[in-house]
Amino acid sequence: MTSQPAAPTPPPSTPSAADLAARIRATTFPRIRYHKGYDRYDVDWLLRKVATELERGVAKPQLADELAKAEFSTTTVRSGYDERTVDDFVDEVVGALRALLGPVPPQRAKSTPLALVRRLLKRP
């Protein structure tokens, strides 16, 4: 009896924008109290913004950078979210956004009035 080689497994596909938005909206985080944690309102607001942009089809590659650079307020007395859990989820979403939306296009340098004057003075 000869065995046939197994069919190669396809590489994991990147989630669609709708799938990613649904995953973001469905995610919940452990709440903590009387320990340092992220303010729930800050986290919820930013993740809702990301999900909404994905659902509307207006998400741009800069969204991944904005999410990666986000700094959430912390709370100790009020109920907050576990920081490690939020950070891990944000890292996953940033990776998925970069895979879905692609790299950030390079920005052109903005011309300042001083740069314009220097360019005009250099002309022969």
Domain residue ranges in the chain: 17-103
2 pLDDT more than 80: no
Among candidate residues 15, 84, 83, the one with its CA nearest the CA of residue 54: 15
Tell me if 67 sits within 8 A of 97, measured CB to CB. yes
Judged by DSSP in three states, 31 sits in strand
The average confidence (pLDDT) of the chain is 84
CB 93 within 8 A of CB 52: no
The set of residues, in sequence order, having a beta carbon less than 8 Å from that of 77 and lying 6+ positions away, is 33, 34
Q: How confident is the model at residue 122 (pLDDT cuts 50, 70, 90)?
A: confident
pLDDT exceeds 90 at position 116 = no
Which of the four pLDDT bands, split at 50, 70 and 90, describes residue 14?
low
How high is the pLDDT of residue 62?
92
For residues 43 and 72, is the Cβ–Cβ distance under 8 A? yes
Residue 95, token pair as written in the block:
């990776």
Per-residue pLDDT reduced to its tens digit, 51-108:
999 999 999 999 999 999 999 999 988 899 999 999 999 999 999 999 998 887 776 6
Cβ-contact 93, 48 below 8 angstroms: no
Q: Which residue has the higher pLDDT, 91 or 9?
A: 91
